[in-house]
Amino acid sequence: MIRRLAAAVAALALLLTLTVPVLAGGWAEIVADAQTTTEPPVEGQPLEVGFVVLQHGQTPAGWETATVHFTNVSTGQTMDVTATNDRPDGHFVATATLPVAGAWTWKVTLKDLASEQAPVALTVNPATGQAAAAETVGLPIIAVLALVVLIGAVAAFAIAWRARRPRPDVTVSPAPRGADPA
């Protein structure tokens, strides 16, 4: 009885330990600007991205330290840039020069507040001025893996279903000796 009570108290203490930071204001929402630039970004040229940091999704958090992480989707190359607060409404700006054309994403992390921002997609054009081809290398791989998992699940279900069905008792008697098989 005492062990169960001690386990319940320990579980409650662990739960409170995990939830207190959230209740204390330890999270923020990142809201990306509607359009980063008026011109499409070009490799080797400065690119400015903007976003707002809102503590609890409401209060501007201009005091926060924000870092923007750029990732090349096809190569995995990354680049980190510290953003600067440029307005009292919690708006930040980061300027980066992406070295190669292609599909990139950017995402913000904060020093003191937790946030769960989905990466923002960005297509960087080559310096020649032609539009970069959309790189969807990740999507076909994911689709193929999903198809393989689906086929495996269907096969496993079929095998399990067949194993559950009772088989009729069938006995095969040998033909009598000397009898004409026709």
Write down the domain spans for the chain: 24-124, 134-164
pLDDT in tens, 20-71: 444 455 899 998 887 655 577 899 999 999 999 999 988 899 999 999 999 9
Q: Which residue has the tokens 């070009």?
A: 42
Q: Under a CB-based contact definition with an 8 Å cutoff, are residues 102 and 86 in contact?
A: no
pLDDT at 152: 82
* Distance of alpha carbon 75 from alpha carbon 137, whole angstroms: 10
* Distance of alpha carbon 148 from alpha carbon 142, whole angstroms: 10
142 exposure class (CB count in 10 Å sphere: 0-12, 13-18, 19+) = exposed
* Distance of alpha carbon 115 from alpha carbon 118, whole angstroms: 10
pLDDT at 134: 43
Q: Which residue has the tokens 């946030």?
A: 115
The structure tokens listed for 53 are 């940091």
The CATH number given to 24-124 is 2.60.40.10
Residues of the chain predicted below pLDDT 50: 5-16, 18-23, 132-138
pLDDT at 109: 93
Alpha-carbon dihedral sign for residues 133, 37, 80, 55:
negative
Bridge-based pairing of strands 59-60 and 91-97 is unpaired
